[in-house]
Structure 1
Amino acid sequence: MKIKEVIVVEGRDDTTAIQRAVDADTIETNGSAIGESVLARIALAKQRRGIIILTDPDYPGERIRRVVSQHVPGCKHAFLPKHAAISKKGDDLGVENASPEAIRLALSSVQEEAVEAPAQILWEDLHAAGLVAGEHAKRRREQLGEKLSIGYANGKQLLKRLHIFQIQPEEFREALILVLKEEQQHD
């Protein structure tokens, strides 16, 4: 099952559980102390693809859901019942403990049908643009991330974010041209 929207989860283990169940991209809040940069990425993903919030069925999970919803109105909500999110030992409650079937069931009521994938930027495009190797690569990635509102990332994460936020090749080229022009002006 391919999910069009980006799924907001609490952490890396949740992402792993989601990816065992469905083909989807996630944004991790890294717990309940959600930073402004994470909220900005969620807002951009909402604008471009839509957001589904799937957090743990406990107080911290509900708090994260509330914070994200307040900062990014219009998100969809998927819920796991507590009995589906409890660990085998019964000592932990979370998305990471849910079976793939339980996750698919929680998501099935809120997700839209996936549309045909748009044209994507390739690793070779990043390399050709000097974004993954060379003396200016880091600075170019920083500036490109700022221009596209996706934040700074290393090469691998940049490619992932370009895909998550469905940055089109034309948008990428336009932002890259601005970055290169600014670089020439400073040299």
Structure 2
Amino acid sequence: MSEEKLYAVKDDEGKYWDFEDRDGFWKLSTASCPTTAEEKDAKDVIYEHGGHIVNLIEEPKKVVLSEKQAEIVDFANSFYLPARYISNNSGEDEELLMNAYVNGYTVAKEKRYLVELDGLVTTDGGKQYLTKKDGKWFACRRMPGMHQDFTDEELNKAPEWAQQLDREEVTDDD
């Protein structure tokens, strides 16, 4: 978060001072400029016209978590003592998960890889790719519905020969 702050002055009726026209309190939707970066200006308005300072802060950024980390935070939401649950289940990620619990989070998309079987082609010259179905690894041209985009974890469980092959990261465009 930046150190810069914005200030608004609000009166007891819920109206905001207009710092542009400096002519009174208005509904937020009608004030030309209801904020100032100068704390002194806001204090001067309070001294002369009343009201109180409203500090405006930036919304904290959501934390990016893995699926496993997100599961911990999700379960903590239903736990009697959420902070204790996170502390007991987070290991070295405790501060990250606490921030996610407080500020919200998004789940990082796990990188996926396509493995071209270099030099191996179909009879019509089509490229072949590492494919897995029903626990078996084989070569197949690129086909929708076939399991051909793999995570690091999946490729680390592949046969040793397949682990040695070059991997190409798959983007959402592919």
Give the shorter-chain TM-score range: under 0.3
Q: TM-score, normalised by structure 1?
A: 0.22
Choose between structure 1 and 2 for higher RCO, CA contacts under 8 A separated by at least 6 residues: 1
TM-score (norm 2): 0.23
